[in-house]
Structure 1
């Protein structure tokens, strides 16, 4: 009786093992890895990522993140910049800043570095890149901070202008130079 049960148990195990045998591999998977084409590598990557959990919104690349939710009840119709500021929340934004006068590259570096430090001290993170002897780009990872930074920079004595989203804001200590603002 024990022998019959033992044989029956072994047969059951063999049947289960045979049933769990993995499916045959596709032709492309049987090749040597050195012979894989780009299409084979793409299929391998897709297979690898098949069971991965999707990324959180904040981990996605910026162009794949959902747009920020805008509360239309908080929008002031008299202030279109506030709407623009809300839409740039969490998005990268470049701001161009011109230094007044005819400064040297070193003077522009010194002045814009001081402005950047002041912004960082106010918890506004901006990367700074010189693009000309009198011009710099401030890159904001959170674009909504650009308007707060603009308010600070246009108050500075050596700020000629700040450009955000193709709108030029003149420095308060410099005469207007842009005809589009005079119309």
Structure 2
């Protein structure tokens, strides 16, 4: 999978970003508070999909364009009134019924209230797709998980089952997760 572009509109009510990704390596550089971690979180949440996190994060629209198995995709996530809409479009014409998630509180109303946010995440995290939405849900779950290599040479990857893979050095011998499958770095090498 190759991520081509991420465009975010009104993240936290004020951040508009468009990031074009290179084929081999990408670096996010900026001062503290510039949104580097937010961009990484958004990518991770879109590709999980972490509906609970997306439902409580303020933004108008997020578009992720990527290339996977010789097909171009555009994933669009929007807050429209009291609903989160998560849509997928493909260059091969395959149709995906969008995920439509009713939300009880628009993220703008939540603000910095961590108690409300935590309560809503607990409420939303058990949501599952209805019959029409299963196709998009299972396709997104079939995508490779994002892998982040920090400046400290640690590798971080959140697996679809919620397991967090952390390696404290570049040789992957000191990981904090025991898995029955390839490490994130092994999957990148394939």
TM-score range, shorter chain: under 0.3
Give the number of the structure whose residues are more often strand, by fraction.
Answer: 2
Q: TM-score, normalising length from structure 1?
A: 0.28
Give the number of the structure whose residues are more often helix, by fraction.
Answer: 1
Based on CA coordinates, which of the two structures has the bigger radius of gyration?
Answer: 1
Q: TM-score, normalising length from structure 2?
A: 0.27
